[in-house]
Structures are given as structure tokens and as C-alpha cells.
Amino acid sequence: MSVIQEQDYSARKVDLKTWRKILGYAANNKKYIFIAVFFGMLTGILDLCTNYVSMWAIDGFISPKNTERLPIFIIVAVLIQIGFALFTILFVQACGKLEAHLSADIRKEAFTRLQTMSFSYFDKTPVGYLVTRLTNDVSRSTETVSWSFIDLGWGSMAIVASLVGMFLVNTRLALIIIAAMPIMVLVSVVFQKQILKYQRKSRRLNSMITSSFNEGIMGARTTKTLVREELNNRDMFALTDRMRRASMRAITVSALYMPVASLVISIAIGLVLNRGGFYVLGGYITIGQLNFFITIGNFMFEPIRNFSRIFAELQTSQAAAERVAEVLDARSDIIDPDEIVAKYGDMFEAKTENWEPIRGDVEFRNVSFSYKDGEEVLKNFSLKVKAGENIALVGETGSGKSTIVNLICRFYEPQEGTILIDGKDIRERSQLWLQSNLGYVLQSPQLFSGTIRENIRYGKLDASDEEVENAAKMVGAHEFIMDLPKGYDTEVGEGGGRISTGQKQLISFARAIIADPKIFVLDEATSSIDTESETKIQKASERLLRNRTSFIIAHRLSTIRDADRILVIDSGEVIEQGSHNELMELKGYYYELYTNQFKTEKIQESVQALD
Amino acid sequence: MNRERIRALFGYLKGYRHLLLISLFIMLSELIFAFISPLFFSVTIDSVLDTKPLDTAPDFIAWLVAAVGGVENIRRNLWIVAVAIVTLQIIRGALTFSRSYSTNKASEGTIKKLRDRLYSHVQNLPFKYHVSAQTGDLLQRATNDLDTIRRFIAGSMLELVRTVMLFVVGIFVMSRIHVPLTFLSLLFSPAIVFTSLYFFRKIQKMFTEVEEADSKVFTLVQENLTGARVVRAFGRQKFELNKFNEGNEELRNEIIKLNNLFSYLWGSLDFISGAQIVIVAVFGIIFTVNGSLTLGQYTAFMSYVHMFIWPLRGFGRVLSDFGRTLIAVSRVQEILNEKEEDFYEGLEPDISGDIVFENVCFSYDDKKVLDNLNMIVKGGQTVAILGGTGSGKSTLIQLLQRLYDIQSGSIKISGVDINDINKKYLRDRIGIVLQEPFLYSRTILENIAIKTDKPDIERVQEASRIASVHDDIERFELGYNTVVGERGVTLSGGQKQRVAIARALVSESDILIFDDSLSAVDTKTDASIREALKSRRQGTTTFIISHRITTLMEADRIFVLKDGRVVEQGTHEELMDIGGIYRKTYEIQSSQVV
């Protein structure tokens, strides 16, 4: 369920290093940052100008009762407003572009990085986790940091300009306003912290409610049979009640913030009026100047509030930024050295002109391998397979059979020993060279959205329509594809969701076979499909496997009876090997496995007979 | 259409309407105070700091001035003005706080109530609804749509009213000071509203496009990472990167376009509102110089014009919120309008007696599933059902629990027609283990004892032992207190199945059903469960649905279903003699490896 994603509600210290790193990913970031800060600052100056203009209106026109120079006033005032509008457009666009480029560039960088990671990384990292990093976390962190620049530019200039402006007019009144500033800062910081704390609490409850709702929906049928409706309701109501109370606390705190802050301001203004009024009466300052101080007092709070808000936001998104940085820092544990890359090309750009053709001899020489330290799956494992040989691997889950084929594909790197293809250590060629020569069919057929044709063509990007159809015919998928209303142009849906698992598997077979690979790997490829499709594949397999070195791991032993050599694997060792008949005569492990399975298969067969 | 939605929305507010009314009242007071504050400054400037007579000031201010000893006294003690300002601010702050409090109390309360109602409604919707329900969509409505409604109640709804009040109060106060300037102050209001509306329509459209581009990127990333192994196995990194770049760049460009729209919206609103302010300033100056306005009143007007600008600028957003909320309401109503099951009517008879199915027919849509099915099950017996996919065996069980209603024929338990029995009572007395059991994300203990509040650990352990899951559970670090699911340990399919069996065994039931659930456990466990059942429950009618003959053969009576009818019935021996489907199945399953 994608709606529910794990969240991190912790507030962390704002670490500028992380943010600088995040910002470093946008190519033109300096330009946008400059525009945002610069026009933000200009806006801050304009704000002060507006206050000056108000003062000018009173002292220059109203008090002397003179409207002679009003046209100039109008021109200045209008120019200021045009400036506001223009600057707004400019800095909003700059920040928007910064955000958009930053997030796109980071996503691209992270995506590229993930393409180079080996299987061990994906074993440890759930897909949902990575997807959240690349979507939510990237958006959240880039948004916060991009937009903070306007406020930074505007706020700092607004404060500086106002201070300068005030001191130019009257020092004592300026000091009153300045005295109020630390109080305002304190009030803002304290409140923002509290608000953040309570918001986190209610957000956590909110996601709990979402999970409960999800469970209520997913489990509704079971709930009915267990008559648990009322108990479920009671639990949910308790949860929503906690949620209401938590949000009320959050709301109460934030509702208090503005009144308290305004009170501080009004006290400052009261003091200004008290003193300033006295000055006006004494003729030291004009009424326009007094008005100027009152406006500034109201205005000065705005940047302080913005600063504390930005700080709070950075704090909230700190965790997101750190997680993004983590993905960007990830390095694969299988990296082609520079000299290999120089000769064969890297993961993205192949130098196919230097690629040697592959025959298909495979050899394991004293290979030891473990996924986790101390848990050795293969120990000193050796195996020799001649080009064109069909090998079947049999054994329990965890026996090491999948590991063997994964090592052949170089999805993992053994800790000790060497694997040789055509007599040469696989590390002496690039990963892409090997993997481009592989045909690989996984247990759960993974298709990509697009048409059936596009999915088959994934195995050979420049394949003609005819080649695509031939591949489909070879695996026995052509008939069902033609039965679909749109044939090869049928959209398979996200992850292939619109067609059945068996059909998906047949397509993934066609995808693997179209490139005519010299090494062919079927990792439990038939266990998720129905018997009918399986029979089809079995019929085709003789043709499929001809002239290729193949490795088949199959749960159903009936699929592997025809293999040239069956290897029974237990705890990383070959305990029996030979043809089906040889192993059956041996009456050992294989024999027992086969007999047991036979019974299960008979039950399935009898079920089909019932229909 | 919209009227219905507004009525529904108003209905949600029930129980909290008085709070909202209070909020409205406070809001009105706030507005009045907001308009009064500048008048204090105005009087201070005109009559205290200058020497204008008090006759231009409103009566109540003149009265207040007199109360504190007249203009002369204030002039000597300027702190009185300062105190007045602070006092005014305290009142305004208190009003703002209480308004915000009561409004949010109403919105949070409303949403809690609505959330509870929606949840319990979903719980009480019939089985049929849940079979075809789209969980993602349902959850989306329960979370996002509800949140849209909450935000509207807490914000935009009162904002809408507030804007109207603002105009009424504003025009009243301002026109008493200076009518032409009042008119000029509001001159650009329509332009501001229209601009903001115009852009908000565009922005909303653009939003949809950004969302689409966004979900495209999401899918690209998700598919690529889910298929990471395929990508590697085919060496398609470059191909994938190119595909991703396309989507990524499109998203970037859409975001920039949306953002540019915002920049133009804000830029033009800045300009129009700026022009409005300049007009008031310029004419204010002219009127003041002419003498029809005092300096104090001029400053008051400058404050007022600002008070109008912000709500007007936000009006487009408020209206689009309103539109969105109405859509959310209609989506929520769609669920709420579905009819709940009737749980409260019906008899509560003893159901340990015979169960008689007589000419039962049932079809889903147009597909006939049960076709004149007849079956008699003696109370306390163990019966087994064998049938292929689509033979109707699961439907039979669902009818027995009244998850669906029979369309014709009858089912009688202990002589009582099943349609007369209370649904909750019936289901409560029937224990069932489904083929794909669902466990709640709670502890294993709670899951097994899910029907009670206070789990009896002894009984839970006993049931777990029978279901041979006790050892598995004990192996977990937290044992029975291990949380299962998303937030805890993921159980294997077999473990889940056995926990579900323990769950069914732990509570007393008159009828016990294993819907293809024993075949998921190995033969030995299966046998020991059946053995334990036999010795433990005298008087419990047990249904076992399975494909495995060894699971079925010891039952008191075996029914073979095909195409919604009973085609064979009897004991194992009898059915073997008949030589039909049962025997054929038996033979296939017991054939030997050659």
C-alpha cells in the first residue's frame, strides 16, 4: 500500500553541511540563489521606501497643506508598486526554478546511482524506502531550502534597512523598537518549537489512523466473520479521540502565538507613542515621523517570524535531506576498475567494438561466498560446465542454488575464489559485457508498463516486430497474445498487473530468449505459473535450451527431468549429481524429493480433474 | 447536486454548529475592534497631538476621552494612550485566540465524528461491498478527502463569511468618515477578486498536470527499482536512465510552469493592490488638504485599505477550496450512502442442531453458482466437502454465515430459517478459517484471542499447540507478544494459516469451518488438528473443505460438489463404492511414482 509510508518524525539539529551538499546538485543554483536573495533584498528596501513615502505624504503634503508636487509623489508611489510586482515575479520564478532544477537533478543523480548498485544493496534496501527517498524526501528538502532564500534576502534587508531608517529619523524611538526585538525573537523561537513538537505528535497519530483505516478496509471480510465490528470501532474511536486532543493542543499553542506576539508589538508601539507623542507636542519630530515608527514597529516582526519559521522547517526536513544524501552517497560493492571501463565501457555506455564474443563455458574455482559475515553459503565450491550443457539445480530453500546462478550472473561478488567464463576471470571484463550476454528469467516475472511488444523487445532493443513474434512463438506465448483484443500492442499495466502471472512469465521468457543469449538462467521461473503454461514452456524448452549453457532452478521437479545434469545442492555443496534416471536409481535425496512432490502434484492434478 | 453536498456538509457540523456560531460572533467583534483601533490613533493624532476639536471623532471615543479627564489630561499623561492601545490589543488577542480555538474545536470535533462514522460505516457495509471495493480509493477518501473537509471548516468556510462581514462593517465605518474615499478604497476590489479567481482556475488545471507528471515519475522509479534485477540482468541501465530522464524533465518543466503561474498571480495582485493603495493615498492627501478629512482620519483610511486587500487576494483560493471541499463531500457521501447491514434484527436460537440446505440457488451477477443445492448436515457431525474451483463450496459457506443472502430456497439451522437469525449472533457462533487468513497488526496473543478483551493465555497456548504453531511463536523473541504485520514480524503463509486456526479454535463455536485451510499445513499437522478436534469438541458441527483426500476421508459424511449441486454424498466407503468423482480423485492422489 503506497499510501502508507514510513515516516520519520524526529526533529534534528540543522546541519548546514547537508544542505550545502543538497544545493550543490543544481548546476545553475548560484544564479537562482543570487536572483532570489538580490530581489528579496530589493523588496526589503522597497518596504522601507513605502514607509518613507507614507511619512512624506503626511509631512510633505498634508501638514503643509500643499499639493504642488503631488505628481512626483504619484510617480514615485506607482514606481514602488511596479517594483514590488516585478521583484515578486522575479524572485518567485527564481526560487521555483531552483526548486525544480534542484529536485530534478538530485533525482537524476540518485536514479543513476541506483542503476549501478549491485543486488546486495537491493537485498538490504526495500523498494518502498528508496521510492520515498527519490520522491517525497527529495521534494520536501529541496522545497524548504529553495524558498528559504527569498525570506533570507528579504528578511535580512528588511531588518537592516528598517534599523538604518529608524536611526536616521530618531535614535531614542529607534532604541525602543530595538529593545522589543529580542523579546519578539524569544517569543517566536519558543512558540515555533512548541508548535513543531505538537504537530509531530498529531502527525504521528494521523499516520496511525491511516494504518488503522487501511486495516479496517483490508480486513473487513475477516472482521465480519469474527464479528469484531464493535471492538474495532471502539479501538478506532479511542485513536481518533487521541488525535483530536493532540491536534487541539497543537492548535491552542499556535493560536496563542500571534496574539502574544502582537501584544509585544503593541507594548512597543505604546511606548513609542508615549515618548513620540511627547516629542511631537514639543515639536522635536513631525506626526509623519511618529507614524513612521508605528508602522515600522508592526512591520519589523514579520522578518523575525519568517526566520523562525524557516528554521523550524529546516529542522523538520533535516531528516529528509540526510536520507537523500545517504542514497546519493551509496556506492556499489561491485565496481569495474578504470582499466576495464576504459576497454569495455561502463554501465551506461558500452564499447561493444572491444567486446569478445562469448562461448558459454562456466567454471567455479574454489568459490566461497556469504551474504552476511559468518554465514557462509558456499564454501570452496568448484564446478565446471561446458558450453551448451543444460544444468538443473535442486535443493531446499537456503541450500545455495540461487546463489550459484547469481554469482554466474555477477550479481554478487564472491569473497574468495574465481568464476571463469570461457576460461577467463569474470572480473577481467565489464559487468555489462557479461550481463548483456545473459538470458535471465526470475521467479516473479517483472514486466514494465508498456505494450507486450515493448516488453519483449526489452531483451533486444533493436529487434524487429518479426523477431518479437518469433520469440513469442518460441516460448508458446504467441497464441494467447493474439487472443488479446490488441494483440502485441496490449498494455500490460503497471508491473504487468493487467495480465495473469502465467502470461507475464511467458512474456518474460520471450524477453530473455529474443537476444539469443549464450548463457540462460531460469531461477524458479516456472513455480508461479499454472500447469498449462508450464507444459507449454516445457515443450518449448528443448528448442529454447539448444546451443546454450543453461542453469535451471525449479521447484517442480517434473520440469527438470530432461536436463543433461542435475545437481542436488545441500548447504552449498553438490551432494548428488547425474541425469534424472541415474539419480532415481540412486534412491537418495533426489529420489525422496521427487516422490514427495509427485504426490502433491497428483493432488493438483486431481483438482483439475474435478472441474 | 451542489445543494445536496452543501446540505451534507452542514449535516456533518451537527453538534458543533453552536461553536461555529460563537466563532462567527467573535469574528464580528474582532472586525469591529479592527476598525476601531485606527480610530484611536486617528483621535490621538488629531485631537491630542494636534488641537482639532473632538467633534469629528465617533461618540464613544469622545465619551471615553471625557471619562479619562479630557484631551488636556491625556496630553499631559500620554501613557493613557499607550495603555489604551495595549488594552485594545489584549482584547483583540483574546478574541482572535478564542475564535481560533472554537473554530478548530468545531472542525476537529466534526472530523473526528465523521471519521468515526465513516470507519464504523465501512465496517458495517455488507460483505458484497468489500469483495468489490477498491481499497486504495476507499483509503484515499477516508484520509485525503476528510482532511480537505477539515481544512475547509477550520479555514476557508469562515473566511468566506468573514469577507462578507468585512465589507458590511467596513463600508459602515468608513462611509461615516468620508463617503467618496470609501468608494475609492474599494474601487479595485472586483479587479483583485477576478484576477485571483482567473489565476486560480488556471493554477488548478496546472496542478492536475503536475500531479500527473509526478505520479509518472513515481511509477518510473517504482517500476525500475522493483525490476532492478531485471534491469541488471539485461544490462538496460542506459535505456532505463533515458526513460527516467524524460519523465523527470517533464515533471521539472511542469513544476516551473506552475510556479510561473503563481509568480504572475502574485505579481499582478501586488500591482493591483499597490495601485489601490496609491489611489487612496493620493486622494486622501487631496481630501485632507481640502479639509474634508483630518490627518488622523487619513491614517485610519490607510490602515483600512490594507485590511481589505489580503482577504480579497485570498478570495480565489477560498472559492477554489470550497469547490474542492464539495467534491470531497460527494466522495465521502458516496460511501455513507451505501446501505449498512442489519445487525440488530433476528432470533438467537441454539444453532448446534441439524443444518438443512433446501433447493438453495445463488448467482453472482448473472453467473449461477449454486443450483438447487440440497444438503443435510446432522448437528455435531463432521462433514467434508470436495469440489473443484467454481463448484460453489465457498459460496455455500458464505451463505451459512449470512455474508450473502440466498436468492431462493432455504437454509434452516435447528429448524430455524437462517434469514430469521440475527447476523451477528450467527457469525459469532460460527468459527471459520479462511484460505487466505487476515491477521491484524497486533500481537499474536491479541490476534488469537481477537474476540475477547482479556485474553486467557492458557487457552490461547492450548489452541496454538493444537494448531502446531506454539513452537513457532515461542521461537520469536517476544513470543506471544510479537506484533505481526507491517510494524512487526512478517509471518510465513503457513504460520499465518496456523495462527488463524488457533484463532478459530480458541473461542467456543457451535459450527466450525475450515475453508481449504487445512491443506495449507502439512499432512501431519492436519491429522493432529483433526484428532484434537475430535476429542475436544463434542457437539460442534464441523465443515472441512479440502482437496486432499486424506483430510476428508475420515469425515462422518462427505459431499462432492459440482456446478453448484451435490453430485455424490456418503461416507468414504460408500463413495468409493459408487465409483464416481470421489473415487477418481482418490485414485489419482494415491498413484505411485513409476
Instruction: Quickly name the fold that domain B355-590 has.
Output: Rossmann fold (3.40.50)
- Domain B1-176+315-341, classified CATH 1.20.1560.10, yes or no: yes
pLDDT category of residue A533 using cuts at 50, 70 and 90: low
For residue A267, the chain B residues in CB contact (below 8 A) are 86
pTM above the 0.90 mark? no
For residue A442, the chain B residues in CB contact (below 8 A) are 229-230, 233
* Subunit contact B89:A226, Cβ cutoff 8 A: no
Position B345 scores a pLDDT of: 85
Position A386 scores a pLDDT of: 92
Strand B511-515 and strand B430-433: the pairing is: parallel
Position B593 scores a pLDDT of: 62
Q: Please say if the pLDDT value at position B343 is more than 60.
A: yes
Tell me the C-alpha distance between A134 and A113, whole Å.
11
Q: Which domains does chain A have, with CATH numbers?
A: 16-329 (1.20.1560.10)
Distance (Å) of CA B444 to CA B138, B222, B464: 27, 32, 10
* Subunit contact B78:A459, Cβ cutoff 8 A: no
Mean pLDDT of A521-542: 71
pLDDT category of residue A4 using cuts at 50, 70 and 90: very low
Q: What percent of chain A has pLDDT over 90?
A: 40
Mean pLDDT of A247-254: 91
Position A230 scores a pLDDT of: 86
DSSP E strands in B88-128: the ranges are none
Mean pLDDT of B419-443: 88
Q: What percent of chain B has pLDDT over 90?
A: 50
pLDDT category of residue B262 using cuts at 50, 70 and 90: very high
Position A12 scores a pLDDT of: 65
Residue A266, C-beta contacts closer than 8 angstroms, at least 6 positions apart = B85, B86, B88, B89
Closest in A210, A215, A442 to B440, CB measured: A215
* Subunit contact B267:A92, Cβ cutoff 8 A: yes
Of the listed ranges B83-87, B432-436, B495-499, B535-539, the one predicted with least confidence = B535-539
Give per-residue pLDDT as tens, A357-407. 999 999 999 999 998 887 788 989 999 999 999 999 988 777 888 889 989
Mean pLDDT of A471-488: 89
From the candidates A412, A508, A610, A611, which should be mutated to test the interface with B, based on the most B CB atoms within 10 A? A610
Mean pLDDT of chain B: 89
pLDDT category of residue A226 using cuts at 50, 70 and 90: confident
Position B520 scores a pLDDT of: 63
Give per-residue pLDDT as tens, A557-575. 777 888 899 999 988 889 9
pLDDT category of residue A526 using cuts at 50, 70 and 90: low
Question: Edge to edge, what strands does the sheet with A390-394 contain?
Answer: A438-441, A519-523, A549-553, A390-394, A565-570, A573-578
- Locate the chain B residue with the closest alpha carbon to A444: B227
Q: Decide if A544 contacts A472 (C-beta within 8 A).
A: no
CB atoms within 10 A of CB A328: 18
From the candidates A99, A115, A402, which should be mutated to test the interface with B, based on the most B CB atoms within 10 A? A115
User: How many Å lie between the alpha carbon of A222 and the closest alpha carbon of chain B?
Assistant: 6
User: How many Å lie between the alpha carbon of A7 and the closest alpha carbon of chain B?
Assistant: 12
Position B270 scores a pLDDT of: 92
pLDDT category of residue A5 using cuts at 50, 70 and 90: very low
CB interface of A with B, residues 215-274, below 8 Å: 215-229, 231-233, 236-237, 240-241, 243-244, 247-248, 251-252, 255-256, 258-260, 262-263, 265-267, 269-271, 273-274
Question: Edge to edge, what strands does the sheet with A362-372 contain?
Answer: A375-385, A362-372, A416-421, A424-425
What one-letter code names the amino acid at B437?
A: P
- Higher pLDDT pick, A218 / B362: B362
Mean pLDDT of A291-298: 88
CB atoms within 10 A of CB A183: 14
Q: Decide if A379 contacts A404 (C-beta within 8 A).
A: no
CB interface of A with B, residues 367-406, below 8 Å: none
SS3 A14: coil
Position A220 scores a pLDDT of: 84
Q: Please say if the pLDDT value at position A2 is more than 50.
A: no
Cell numbers given for A333: 560493492
* Subunit contact B120:A67, Cβ cutoff 8 A: no
Give per-residue pLDDT as tens, B514-546. 987 776 677 777 787 888 777 766 788 999 998
- Locate the chain B residue with the closest alpha carbon to A269: B82
Mean pLDDT of A508-523: 89
- Residues forming a β-bridge with A370: A376
Q: Decide if A572 contacts A399 (C-beta within 8 A).
A: yes
Q: What percent of chain B has pLDDT over 70?
A: 98
| Interface size between A and B, measured as CB pairs under 8 A | 408
Q: Decide if A362 contacts A393 (C-beta within 8 A).
A: no
Position B496 scores a pLDDT of: 86
Burial B399-428 (b: 16+ CB within 10 A, else e): bbbbbbebeebebbbeebebeebbbbbbbb
Q: Please say if the pLDDT value at position B382 is more than 80.
A: yes
Distance (Å) of CA A368 to CA A550, A571, B120, B193, B574: 22, 12, 57, 73, 60
For residue B424, the chain A residues in CB contact (below 8 A) are 227, 229
Strand A390-394 and strand A549-553: the pairing is: parallel
Q: Decide if B200 contacts B317 (C-beta within 8 A).
A: yes
User: How many Å lie between the alpha carbon of A285 and the closest alpha carbon of chain B?
Assistant: 11
* Subunit contact B119:A216, Cβ cutoff 8 A: yes
Domain residue spans of chain B: 1-176+315-341, 179-292, 355-590
SS3 B105: helix
Q: Decide if B543 contacts B511 (C-beta within 8 A).
A: yes
Provide the 8-state DSSP code for B443: B
Provide the 8-state DSSP code for A28: T
Position B584 scores a pLDDT of: 87
Mean pLDDT of A584-609: 80
Q: Please say if the pLDDT value at position A1 is more than 50.
A: no
Tell me the C-alpha distance between A46 and A27, whole Å.
31
Closest in A3, A92, A119 to B266, CB measured: A92
Tell me the C-alpha distance between B387 and B547, whole Å.
7
Q: Please say if the pLDDT value at position B104 is more than 60.
A: yes
Mean pLDDT of B234-251: 93
Q: Decide if A371 contacts A377 (C-beta within 8 A).
A: yes
Position A600 scores a pLDDT of: 73
